[in-house]
Structure 1
Amino acid sequence: MLLAYIDEIGETGAFVSRSHPRFNTSPAFGYAGFVIAAERARQFGQIFTEEKRKLFAIEIAASTKPAQWEKKGSQIFHQTTVDRYPQQLRVFNGLVHRLRSLGGHLFYYADEKPCGTPKQTKLDTVARESAAMRETLNRLARHADEQGQHLLVLMDQVNEKQRVERVPAMYAHMFGRPGDFEEMKRIVEPPMHLDSAVSSNIQFADWMAACVSRAIDYHLSASSQYAWITSGKVDAVRGLFTNNSKVHLWHRGVSEVFSPGRG
């Protein structure tokens, strides 16, 4: 069996531009993370924890809850990371190499947002989240089918209201789609939620989502400050994404944000 650990890329709100006073957060929304054999998941989690504890030893020692201390991906992949905190990228690349050695894969899927305010784009955030999750499950199912494995999807916890709203829709999608797409039978259950504070693998999924988010920003935002993300600083990720990892561009098909010839 495979385990897929995923986290959100960006957020579901509207996007106009980086300079807009309100709608400036992310030009796309989706999910990213990694897939690993169930029997290797605990080993990778231990590797991540060891590296995190060494890299952030001072901050963890000062924490009131060191066992639950986490560094968010947005802090790992910051605009100034490449100049001020290159050691974070070194550790990230090392973790990706370890994932590769354990037979794991990286994954992402995101939808580019139509440019405009909520009124201009007739924004429905629930529909946006549901569409991205459906396509994420579709593509993870295809990967599991290619590997001849069943799959369990795990993601960072959400509030109870969101969970109650999302689970029925995911069940309906999973059990309504196999008539035409047999690979959906590879997914055992709808995504289960884990607290990132106690799950090392969810924390790494968050780091991966942040990495992909910065690459998408570089591709889709003219004023992006993340050109460095595709300039060789995280080259460990190249060649490790599943074949189904893509960004769906608004009225323009699909794109690979870590394609070999870019950056």
Structure 2
Amino acid sequence: MQLKTNVFDSDIKKSSAKPYKWEKKGADIFRPKAIERYISLKSLGFRLLNLVQKMDGKVFYFGIEKEIRKLDGNSLGLYKTVLSNAIRRLDRYCEAENSNFILVLDQHDAHHDLLECAAKTMFGKEPARRLLSPPYHVESYLNQNMQAADWVASITGRLWAHRLQSEQYEDHQKFSEYYWQRLHQLAVHSAVNRRGVQRRERRNENTALGIALTKVGFNPS
């Protein structure tokens, strides 16, 4: 909360809200023109990632590329697929590290469906044994850690939007310039599954690129 109050002190005072109840979403903070215009917002991303490192934390993300010009008719299904894959990835990471983990999720309209999905993944045919309990849901405006996670997620989303569709998101180039390397110094077991890439990789699993990525432990596909 200290970082939030330092950067947004005037905004918080204008709102008349208590600092612990004041929230600003990452999507409203990390906007292309804003990070170029305001040094404080640009540095906020670095300060946040530095704080994660200082606390011996890591960044984790998993996503699936959406098809261009196609509306997703089953957003909940996609959300559950991503959640299930994320749990399994975290479980494998924690198994290798001989540690356990818990999940804390932002409140969601479909929280019952998501909890059921997490439980099926946790206790299914290939159980996620390192997950200590089904996820907890919290209200982000009262949880500073969730707000920080939302900020990191916003940066990550901007980075991958530019990486996957650089022409459409040309104005996101500065995010890659500023944050790509710094974020991936902290990222573990993270990936974005790209449309069509998996099929091509199955036909040629031993390419030089695949071998190199395996060696460094990062999978950008």
Q: TM-score, normalised by structure 1?
A: 0.70
Distance 2:40 2:180 in 1: 12
| 2:75 aligned to which of 125, 128, 132 | 125
For residues 166-220 of structure 1, what are the alpha-carbon distances to aligned partners after superposition, in whole Å with 9 as ceiling and x for unaligned? 22222112111436xxxx1000122211111111110011001100100111012
The Cα shift of 1:165 comes to 2.1
The Cα shift of 1:61 comes to 0.9
The 4+ residue runs of structure 1 with deviation greater than 4 A are: none
2:147 is equivalent to residue 197 of structure 1: no
- CA spacing shift, 1:116–1:236, aligned 2, 3 Å: closer
The answer to which structure has the higher helix fraction is 2
2:113 is equivalent to residue 165 of structure 1: yes
| 1:213 aligned to which of 149, 152, 157 | 157
The Cα shift of 1:245 comes to 0.3
| 8 A Cα contact 1:108 1:245, kept in partner | yes
The structure, 1 or 2, with the larger RCO (C-alpha pairs under 8 Å, 6+ apart) is: 1
The answer to which structure has the higher strand fraction is 1
| 8 A Cα contact 2:101 2:132, kept in partner | yes
2:16 is equivalent to residue 64 of structure 1: yes
| 2:46 aligned to which of 93, 109, 112 | 93
The number of equivalent residue pairs is 201
Distance 1:91 1:194 in 2: 24
2:199 is equivalent to residue 247 of structure 1: no
- For structure 1, list consecutive stretches of 5 or more residues without a partner in the other structure: 1-48
User: Which residue of the partner structure matches residue 94 of structure 2?
Assistant: 144
Q: TM-score, normalised by structure 2?
A: 0.83
* Overall identity of the aligned pairs, in %: 21
- CA spacing shift, 1:94–1:177, aligned 2, 3 Å: farther
- For structure 2, list consecutive stretches of 5 or more residues without a partner in the other structure: 202-209
| 8 A Cα contact 1:149 1:186, kept in partner | yes
Q: Secondary structure at the match of 1:231?
A: helix
The Cα shift of 1:146 comes to 2.2
The Cα shift of 1:126 comes to 2.2
Q: Secondary structure at the match of 1:110?
A: strand
The Cα shift of 1:233 comes to 4.8
Distance 1:148 1:174 in 2: 17
| 8 A Cα contact 1:93 1:234, kept in partner | no
Distance 2:75 2:121 in 1: 18
| 8 A Cα contact 1:157 1:194, kept in partner | yes
Paired letter, 2:44: V
Q: Secondary structure at the match of 1:193?
A: strand
